[in-house]
Amino acid sequence: MRGLLIEGGERLVGEVKVSGAKNAALPLMAASLLVEGPVVLENVPHLRDVETFIQLLEGLGVKVSWRGKGVLELDASRLSGFTAPYELVKAMRASILVLGPLLARLGEAKVSLPGGCAIGARPIDLHLKGLEQMGVEIRLEHGYIHATAKRLKGTRIYLDLPTVTGTENLVMAAVQAEGETVIENAAREPEVGELAAVLRKMGAWVEGEGSGVLKVRGPSQLRPASHRIIPDRIEAGTLMVASAITQGNVLVRDVRLDHLEAVVEKLRQTGTEIKPAGDQAVRVIGPARILSADVRTHPYPGFPTDMQAQFMALMSVAQGLSVITETIFENRFLHVSELRRMGADIRIQGPSAIVQGVPYLSGAPVTATDLRASASLVLAGLAAEGDTVVTKIHHLERGYEDFAGKLSALGAKIREVEVDEAAG
């Protein structure tokens, strides 16, 4: 089994570049299903989830090729199927993103029901309810959602929760619906904004991203488009915490600070210096002693759930007590028991983790359970005394491009090792 060995205690110093955003890349790849002709995406991160999505699209007949580093061309001129199979949906829930565009393009889609996941039940009822309002007939059979629509019609949809992929699915379906679709309480994440921008480049009429009310008018005659993907705000935030937790001095490049306001605000409360440094760069200087700060996750522009685990690693070594409350996913504390094994003092009370900072963590063998949990364990390992070995690093590789390489270039002692399965 592969693992990451981290010899803790090194201060991170230097410059690091953030990759393109995973959660923007995936819906944009799905949007390629809407058009005949090549869609070219630049700054696509090389990640396991991107590879899985490529496999999914290829299964539908999309021709996919890498045209140099980070440049992905997707040509959905001829589709050969409309099914997202169980094996792929099980490996990656974001596979659900093909549902909306397949309905728009073919009037039919079959997607395996995702089932539970490590961080929570994560239902997709709001995706389906919205589609039904647009005239889609949904049948659940043999573990699959079979969706058909003779005709999609524009309508008003109110989302009970501002679901990110749900909003994306509905917008992609709506571009081929007749008339106006209004999505209220729509997700305001920058990744949704990216999708709206690309759909406009393709010739669709979409407006209101970032406002909570998205309007789409269809149907549209769509054309191929190309687009450069925004930097990954969660990777950027994770690297910022890496500098903070090691008393580092790191220049993080390719970062959109306007996408990270809640994270920057919280990091400043911990005593971390965050200094904008020219165009899309920021210098992050970790304090001698980290101060505690309370955090509550919220949909964008609130503090992202995708940064909760990393922030908890930081709070583990802060001076004082912090309360970290997770409001998006009901089971996103899987990193807690592993952080405890490294000496962290954390208690869970309902949706909150009460973190009493300790002077130092001690390196230990730990197991990654999901993407962001694995990042938090690596961060803890950077700050800990002695060696930490993080196993099940395939979770990390789903969403961080060359994470160990980037940290190593900043002076971290981190490398991949083979771990005895029994020991892990």
130 belongs to the binding site for ligand EPU (CB under 6 A): no
Eight-class DSSP state of 107: S
23 belongs to the binding site for ligand EPU (CB under 6 A): yes
Among 122, 215, 233, 406, binds ligand EPU (CB under 6 A): 122
Question: Long-range pairs for 114-117 at CB < 8 Å and ≥24 separation?
Answer: 114/89, 114/90, 115/90, 117/93, 117/370
Structure tokens at 209: 């991203």
Q: Residue 41 in contact with residue 227, Cβ under 8 Å?
A: yes
Strand partners, 184: 158, 213
Using the contact rule CB under 6 A, the part of the chain among 55-63, 158-166, 199-207, 340-348 near ligand EPU is 158-166
399 belongs to the binding site for ligand EPU (CB under 6 A): yes
Report the nearest approach of ligand EPU to the CB of residue 50 (Å): 11
Measure the CA–CA gap between 264 and 240, rounded to whole angstroms: 9
Q: Among residue numbers 181 through 200, which ones bind ligand EPU (CB under 6 A)? A: 191
Residue type, 422: A
Among 58, 87, 125, 416, binds ligand EPU (CB under 6 A): 125
C-alpha distances in Å from residue 121, one per residue of 83, 96, 115: 23, 15, 7
Q: Which of 79, 106, 117, 257 is catalytic?
A: 117
Reduced 3-state DSSP string for 261-322: HHHHHHHHHCCCEEEECCCCEEEEECCCCCECCCEEECCCCCECHHHHHHHHHHHHCCECEE
Measure the CA–CA gap between 221 and 238, rounded to whole angstroms: 40
Using the contact rule CB under 6 A, the part of the chain among 66-74, 120-128, 246-254, 386-394 near ligand EPU is 120-128
163 belongs to the binding site for ligand EPU (CB under 6 A): yes
123 belongs to the binding site for ligand EPU (CB under 6 A): yes
74 belongs to the binding site for ligand EPU (CB under 6 A): no
Nearer to ligand EPU among residue 94 and residue 240 (C-beta): 94
- The contact mask relative to ligand EPU for 309-348 (x = CB under 6 A, - = no) is -------------------xx-------------------
Using the contact rule CB under 6 A, the part of the chain among 3-11, 162-170, 348-356, 406-414 near ligand EPU is 162-170
Measure the CA–CA gap between 234 and 83, rounded to whole angstroms: 30
Structure tokens at 54: 């490529």
Nearer to ligand EPU among residue 240 and residue 317 (C-beta): 240
Measure the CA–CA gap between 84 and 99, rounded to whole angstroms: 9
Residues in the chain: 424
Nearer to ligand EPU among residue 60 and residue 192 (C-beta): 192
Query: In which region does residue 144 sit, left (phi positive, over 0), alpha (psi from -120 to 50) or beta (all else)?
Result: beta
Q: Residue 415 in contact with residue 7, Cβ under 8 Å?
A: no
423 belongs to the binding site for ligand EPU (CB under 6 A): no
Report the nearest approach of ligand EPU to the CB of residue 5 (Å): 24
Among 19, 112, 238, 305, binds ligand EPU (CB under 6 A): 305
- The contact mask relative to ligand EPU for 164-183 (x = CB under 6 A, - = no) is xxx-----------------
Measure the CA–CA gap between 151 and 340, rounded to whole angstroms: 54
Nearer to ligand EPU among residue 126 and residue 353 (C-beta): 126
Residue type, 195: L
Report the nearest approach of ligand EPU to the CB of residue 6 (Å): 21
Measure the CA–CA gap between 16 and 10, rounded to whole angstroms: 16
Eight-class DSSP state of 38: E
- The contact mask relative to ligand EPU for 344-373 (x = CB under 6 A, - = no) is ---------------------------xx-
Residue type, 136: V
Residue 95 class from Cβ within 10 Å (0-12 exposed, 13-18 middle, 19+ buried)?
Answer: buried
Map tokens 């007939």 to a residue: 137
Report the nearest approach of ligand EPU to the CB of residue 142 (Å): 21
Residue 117 annotated to the active site: yes
Report the nearest approach of ligand EPU to the CB of residue 89 (Å): 12
Query: Do strands 144-148 and 137-141 pair parallel, antiparallel, or not at all (unpaired)?
Result: antiparallel
127 belongs to the binding site for ligand EPU (CB under 6 A): yes
Nearer to ligand EPU among residue 52 and residue 388 (C-beta): 52
Report the nearest approach of ligand EPU to the CB of residue 126 (Å): 3
Report the nearest approach of ligand EPU to the CB of residue 212 (Å): 14
Nearer to ligand EPU among residue 38 and residue 123 (C-beta): 123
308 belongs to the binding site for ligand EPU (CB under 6 A): no
Residues 269-287 as b/e (b if ≥16 CB within 10 A, e otherwise) read ebbbebeeeeebbbbbebe
Binding site for ligand EPU (CB under 6 A): 23, 26, 93-94, 120, 122-127, 161, 163-166, 191, 305-306, 328-329, 371-372, 399
